[in-house]
Amino acid sequence: MTQERPSEGTEQGTGATVGDGAHVRVDCAEALSKLFAFLDAEIGEAEGDLIREHLADCEPCLAEYDIEDHVKKLVKRSCSDCAPPELHVRIRQQLTVLRTQTLG
């Protein structure tokens, strides 16, 4: 396993350094990469909790989660069986825009 650290600089240290290792945290990249799986309930509960925990602490990721959650409900309400592929494309476009805005 390789451990990569995309953001090495400590921009805003929240002082959330955990020493005992009992509290595992996921970073933004991991949280976002698992966002779709999380929303589709394709990952386990433990992993889902990690994502949820991260979202609770991380505004940019939470914003993305809100969009996903919102769209999911929208799809379910309008059509319980079929989700038009165009919608997925639109979601991804929105996410891309949002990510660009968030990261500057």
List of residues contacting Zn ion (CB under 5 A)? 28, 58, 61
Nearer Cβ to Zn ion, position 15 or 85? 15
Nearer Cβ to Zn ion, position 63 or 83? 63
Q: What is the DSSP string of 25-42?
A: ---HHHHHHTHHHHHTT-
- Supply the minimum distance, in Å, between the C-beta of residue 66 and Zn ion: 13
Residue nearest to Zn ion (CB): 58
- Supply the minimum distance, in Å, between the C-beta of residue 101 and Zn ion: 15
- Supply the minimum distance, in Å, between the C-beta of residue 68 and Zn ion: 14
Q: Sign of dihedral through CA atoms 51, 53, 58, 60?
A: positive
Nearer Cβ to Zn ion, position 75 or 94? 94
- Supply the minimum distance, in Å, between the C-beta of residue 9 and Zn ion: 16
Nearer Cβ to Zn ion, position 30 or 87? 30
Q: Directed axis angle between helix 59-78 and helix 45-57, to 10°?
A: 120
